[in-house]
Amino acid sequence: MNTLLYIQSSIFSDAGTSSGLARQFADKWRQVHPHGSVIERDLAREPVPHLDADRFHAFSLPAEQRSPAQQAAVEYSDRLIEELQRADTLVLGLPLYNFGVPSTLKAYFDHVARAGITFRYTAQGSVGLLTGKRAVVFATRGGIYEGADTQPQYIRNFLGFLGIEAIEFVFAEGLALGEASKQRAIAQAQTELAGLQILQRQAA
Ligand SMILES: Cc1cc2nc3c(=O)[nH]c(=O)nc-3n(C[C@H](O)[C@H](O)[C@H](O)COP(=O)(O)O)c2cc1C
């Protein structure tokens, strides 16, 4: 079954501009895949805890050596990873906050990068284990950067590390530069969204 994992990382939850664009994508995806399943993960409503040493150590301990708290930490991470494994498509609402990704998204990433499960090291380097998936990222920002900021490359590096290399970005920039600029940016992003190959091809 086709499965979409819909992640929103805006601190404003459903009210975020990035969330709105990602939701429009999810709605169109549902039309293309009426029998598909959508998994929603809202990182504002259910924040992932910061990764700390206890949690990190728990990931590498054999099950029989884990304390109940460590076992719970591993099961929580496992659940996040299962959602990624089940999905063939990932849609991410991605605001730019202080020149980086939302801290909730970083915490999420810290819980899904697990050696031996989502990536592994070989003599030739690392290999991502979440292959055969596509990602669409709705990147919203107050200013205008036109690719000159580090956030998109960071996302490509991280998802690529896990094996997700087919990534499309839709930008809505200049959202803080007045109402006209905001409306123009959203309209342009919506036009790009409607023309996304991933929706066209699967509709055929
Ligand atoms: C805490 C915070 C930090 C922000 N930092 C930046 C920034 O570094 N650069 C920028 O262009 N816009 C910045 N903005 C503006 C957001 O990127 C913009 O409002 C975006 O649409 C937010 O998406 P959202 O509504 O989905 O949360 C910031 C907004 C907030 C709330």
Q: Using one digit for the tens of pLDDT, what is the confidence trace for 52-90?
A: 999 999 999 999 999 999 999 999 999 999 999 999 999
Q: Can you give the pLDDT at residue 201?
A: 55
pTM for this prediction:
0.96
Q: Is the CB of 99 under 6 A from ligand 1?
A: yes
User: Could you read off the pLDDT of 99-132 as tens digits, one per residue?
Assistant: 999 999 999 999 999 999 999 999 999 999 999 9
Can you tell me whether residue 41 is helix, strand or coil?
Answer: strand
Secondary structure letter of residue 12 according to DSSP: T
Q: Is the CB of 174 under 6 A from ligand 1?
A: no
Is 17 close to ligand 1, i.e. is its CB under 6 Å away? Answer: yes
- DSSP state at residue 97: B
**Residue 204's pLDDT band (cuts 50, 70, 90):** very low
* Helix or strand holding residue 77 (H, E): helix 68-86
Please give the pLDDT value at position 173: 98
List CB contacts of 114: < 8 A, sequence separation 6 or more. Answer: 59, 77, 81
Report which ligand 1 atom has the smallest distance to the Cα of 141.
17
Ligand 1 centroid distance, CA of 142 (Å): 5
CA 40–ligand 1 middle distance (angstroms): 22
pLDDT at 1 (0 to 100): 82
Ligand 1: does its nearest atom lie under 6 Å from the Cβ of 77? Answer: no
**Does 3-203 carry CATH code 3.40.50.1820?**
no
3-state SS class at 53 = helix
Which protein residue's CA is at the shortest distance from atom 24 of ligand 1? Answer: 16
Break the chain into its structural domains and give their ranges.
Answer: 3-203
Chain centre to alpha carbon of residue 118: 14
